[in-house]
Every structure is written in structure tokens, then in C-alpha cells.
DNA sequence: CCCTTTAGTTACCTTGAGGTACCAGGGTAC
DNA sequence: GTACCCTGGTACCTCAAGGTAACTAAAGGG
């Protein structure tokens, strides 16, 4: 094997492998969408929920907490009534946009081929 | 918002968004490991299972089938006894290694910061 | 007074990824 | 000839992520 692959293959699944840590965070349904929306600037909870569309409050809370825990967003709560909480990407969070752009570029270039294979595969399976 | 973010934010979660298709495939526990191992060349089922380490037969079967469905690997079954099935990365599969390398690079550069934030966050929460 | 608004939390349910255990089916050893 | 191994794959169960909805606190409007 090449040393490049060795770095992320290792001796099997390792929850502490750096690549795995990132994929575990970014692989879930909403994190990428939240980061994308926050790329436009700070936003409060309800605006974020409306903007992402389809996410439940519970899951958005969990997603934002995980992002804050990892230092990718900041959470700023103002003790006003009613409460107001602003979320904002950190520099670390913004630095993630490069890799995310690469993923997006690959997807947009190759998704047609993937879908084509998928359709062909499904046709063959149903015969 | 920038048009770049619009491309993958859209009006919320969309299972057909190209980026989502890729993340749904690559975000699971084993796919990246399997692609990493297959980068070394074709490999048969059992060798793959031993090489990845920790993956169950069922999950490896499902992972490989999903990869084959998407045209990222080929599955070649020889009707010998005992059976022999070879799996190999396609060109499309190999083209994924670039994005995966970017992910890996980001992870290795920033994982220390993420872990540090995580520890600080957890300390604060337990007080 | 009651209802609304905000940022959650909690209870409960559904779903599906992933793990365990087993199967088919032809070898081969005795 | 029968008992057991090898391979790739499958039935079945578990458990946790994610979804829905009800509830909270505290101020303000009608």
C-alpha cells in the first residue's frame, strides 16, 4: 500500500483517526447545510432553522452544540426576553469550506456518472 | 449569500443534491476505508474483510454493493468452488481519492485544534 | 388573563445502520 | 457417506440517530 492510504486506513475503523473524526462530523444530514448557511454571516437560532429548511429544533440544537464543541462555530446567548442566541462560524469553521468546496466540485462533476451507474445497476437487478 | 453556497444549501435537505449524494455515500463508517484498501489494487471479499479490520461480512457486502451500484467499484464473481469474488476500484472510484486526500489533509492539520476545543468545552460543561 | 414569541428540553416513536449468527453448497478427510 | 471446512452472502435483532410534539420561562400585547 502507499503511505498516503496507510494514513487513513490504519488497522481498521478508528474513531480517533483524524479523517474519521471529520467525516463523523460532516457526514451527518445537517452539519454541511448549517455551515453553508452560516457562511453568510452570524445568524440566530430561528433564522437558521427557517433557512436550512426541514430541520427540527431538537436536531438543530444538537448539530450546533456539536459544532460549538468542536470549535467550528461560536454560540453567543443574550440574556434578553425572549432569548436571543447568535451562531457564527469561527476561523476554523471557515477553513472547512475549502475541503467542502472540493467535495462539492467532485460531486457536481461526477454525479451524472454515479446516477447513470445506479440506474443501470437497478435495471439489471430487477430483471 | 454567495452562489457557491447556494449550490449546496438550496432549500434545505435534498437527498438528490450532488454533495449530499456523495456525503451520504462517504459519510458512513466503512466506505472510505474500503476505498483506501482497494486503492492498492483488486482484492477479494475475505481479504478485504481481513484488511479493513472490524467490519462484519454483512456490512462489507452492503458497502461493496452500494459502491458497485454507484460505479465506484466493479464486482467480478468467478463461479468456482469455493466462490471467489474480486472487487476493484473503477476510474470513477479512483477519482474520488483527490477529494478524500483533501479531507485527510484538513483533518490532519486541524484535528488538534478540534480536540482541544472539545476538551475545553467538556470541561466547562461538567463544572 | 390569555396568548404569543424564542430557544430550547423532554418524552416518545420510527427507522435504518450495523452486529451476531447462521446458510448454501461443493470440496476433502476418514 | 458423513462430518466438517471454506467462501460469500443472508435472516434477525439491537441500538442509537433523527423526527414529532408537548412543555418551559419570562415579558409584552390585546
pLDDT per position as a tens digit, A88-125: 999 999 999 999 999 999 999 999 999 999 999 887 65
Indicate yes or no: CB of B113 within 8 angstroms of CB of A71.
Answer: yes
- Mean per-residue pLDDT for A72-77? 96
Nucleotides of C under 7 A from a protein CB: 5-11, 17-22, 25-27
Provide the 3-class DSSP secondary structure of residue A54. coil
DSSP run (H or E) holding B95? helix B91-95
- Do B108 and B77 share a structural domain? no
Contact B29, A26 (CB under 8 A): no
DSSP run (H or E) holding B75? strand B73-78
Nearest-CA distance A13 → chain B (Å):
7
A42/A19: higher pLDDT: A42
- Mean per-residue pLDDT for A59-87? 95
Residue A60 in contact with partner chain B when CB distance is under 8 A: no
Q: What is the pLDDT of residues B111-127, one digit of tens each?
A: 999 999 999 998 876 55
- Do B102 and B88 share a structural domain? no
Nucleotides of D under 7 A from a protein CB: 6-12, 17-22, 25-28
Nearest CA in chain B to A36: B5
Residue A68 located in a structural domain: yes
- pLDDT on residue A87: 97
Indicate yes or no: CB of B36 within 8 angstroms of CB of A8.
Answer: yes
- Do B74 and B102 share a structural domain? no
Residue A6 located in a structural domain: no
Indicate yes or no: CB of B36 within 8 angstroms of CB of A92.
Answer: no
Average pLDDT score over chain A: 86
> Which residue range forms the structural domain that includes residue B105?
96-127
- pLDDT on residue B81: 82
B119 interaction partners in chain A (CB closer than 8 Å): none
- pLDDT on residue A84: 95
| Residue B102 to residues A2, B36, B95, Cα–Cα distance (Å) | 16, 14, 12
- Do B14 and B59 share a structural domain? yes
Asked if the model's pLDDT at residue B9 lies above 60, the reply is no
Asked if the model's pLDDT at residue A35 lies above 70, the reply is yes
- Do B88 and B31 share a structural domain? yes
Average pLDDT score over chain B: 86
Q: How many Å from the CA of A83 to C1' of C4? A: 14
- Do B84 and B100 share a structural domain? no
Q: What is the pLDDT of residues B59-102, one digit of tens each?
A: 999 999 999 999 999 999 998 888 899 999 999 999 999 999 99
- Do B109 and B48 share a structural domain? no
- pLDDT on residue A23: 86
CA–CA gap between residue A126 and residue A105 (Å, rounded): 32
Q: What is the pLDDT of residues A1-34, one digit of tens each?
A: 443 444 444 456 777 788 888 888 888 889 999 9
Mutate to test the interface with A, among B12, B59, B90 (most CBs of A within 10 A): B12
Residue A88 located in a structural domain: yes
Nearest-CA distance A102 → chain B (Å):
6
Residue A119 located in a structural domain: no
**How many domains does chain A divide into?**
1
pLDDT bracket for residue B3 (50, 70, 90): very low
- Do B47 and B88 share a structural domain? yes
- Do B63 and B21 share a structural domain? yes
DSSP run (H or E) holding B59? helix B57-69
Amino acid at each position: 500500500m502507499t503511505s498516503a492510504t496507510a494514513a487513513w486506513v490504519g488497522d481498521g475503523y478508528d474513531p480517533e483517526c483524524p479523517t474519521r473524526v471529520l467525516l463523523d462530523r460532516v457526514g451527518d444530514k445537517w452539519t454541511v447545510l448549517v455551515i453553508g448557511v452560516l457562511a453568510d454571516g452570524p445568524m440566530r437560532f430561528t433564522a437558521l432553522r427557517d433557512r436550512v429548511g426541514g430541520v427540527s429544533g431538537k436536531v438543530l440544537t444538537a448539530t450546533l452544540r456539536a459544532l460549538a464543541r468542536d470549535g467550528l462555530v461560536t454560540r453567543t446567548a443574550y440574556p434578553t426576553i425572549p432569548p436571543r442566541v447568535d451562531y457564527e462560524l469561527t476561523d476554523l469553521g471557515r477553513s472547512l469550506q475549502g475541503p467542502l468546496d472540493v467535495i462539492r466540485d467532485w460531486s457536481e462533476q461526477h454525479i451524472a456518472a454515479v446516477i447513470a451507474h445506479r440506474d443501470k445497476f437497478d435495471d439489471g437487478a430487477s430483471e
